[in-house]
Amino acid sequence: MKILIFGSSGLVGTSLVKNLPKIITNSEIIPSTRDDTDLFSESETLAKIKSTNPDIVINAAAKVGGIQANNINRSEFILDNLKININILESLIPFKNVKVINLGSSCIYPLGANVPINEESLLTGKLEPTNSPYAMAKLTAIEIGDAITKQFGHKIINLMPTNLYGPNDNFSEDHSHVIPGLIHRMHNAKVNKDNTFEVWGTGKPLREFMHVDDLTSAIGYILNNNLFSEQVLNVGSNDEISISDLVLKIKNVVNYKGKIIFNSDMPDGNPRKLLDSTKLTSKGWKPSVELSEGLKSVYEWYLQNKV
């Protein structure tokens, strides 16, 4: 099985390249990054697919970021992700026998969706305002994939992972997701011996987090069992935690001694976002990385690779 992975240098891509060969026997992993293929170019994207002749294409390429990056760089988040998704999916039209795993995000679901959020909640309400451009790009990819499937007979599955964390993430001050952003800032606060550490929002929102290696195991399970009958499939940990409790866990892992201050003048985002992953777990897949242990391993990786 030849598996072409677009976005192979990112959080999800590096996990796939490292771990999929252990899950899928007799597989050939073909990593692809911006160094070999410009996904903003349809001709380069098509040429990569033709030259590698894959059985599976996994689209793990995306412009991603946390709540602040999404809210500030709204144009880039919709335009860049639309270009990537359109070029990959349109280039695959001539390759009917290539199966596609397209990675989305739980932010595609409406702000007021019933929790836990199931796949049928798609397009039933208004999106969360701070990341709606990114969500619209991901929703468009689902619609394009559905159109191609119905018109040309492709097998395309869209996976909606919950909030991911893990090694090789973007650990930065302003453009990270929740966990890497908190780890990076709190480590610096510890080094600088800051007495206080500020967190955006009230700390009350509830979130679900999953280690990226669990997403890889889910993708391997789907490929090994040929589970391409669903258009959209949630992939979550079913482990819900408040932001305030998450901050305390990270404080313990980092061993930061200062005081945590929640800035309620800043936005919380969606008050609660827990996915219903029953469709996938009922087929036999289960996550395995517990949050506390996952945070410890990620901080160890951060110390070894980023500090």
Q: What is the torsion angle, in degrees rounded to the nearest 10, for the CA atoms of residue 63, residue 68, residue 73 and residue 77?
A: 30
Render 21-43 in DSSP notation, one character per residue: HHHSTT-EEEEE-TTT--TT-HH
The DSSP symbol for 306 reads: T
Of 134, 165, 256, 302, the active-site residue reads 134
Q: Is 134 a catalytic residue?
A: yes
Q: How many CB atoms lie within 10 A of CB 150?
A: 10
CB-CB contact of 108 with 135 (8 Å): yes
Render the chain in DSSP notation, one character per residue: -EEEEETTTSHHHHHHHHHHHHHSTT-EEEEE-TTT--TT-HHHHHHHHHHH--SEEEE-------HHHHHHSHHHHHHHHHHHHHHHHHHTTT-TT-EEEEE--GGGS-TT--SSBPGGGTTSSPPPGGGHHHHHHHHHHHHHHHHHHHHH---EEEEEE-EEE-TT----SSSS-HHHHHHHHHHHHHHTT-SEEEEES-S--EEEEEEHHHHHHHHHHHHHTT----SEEEE----EEEHHHHHHHHHHHHT--SEEEEETTS----SEE-B--HHHHTTT------HHHHHHHHHHHHHHHT-
* Residues recognised as catalytic: 134
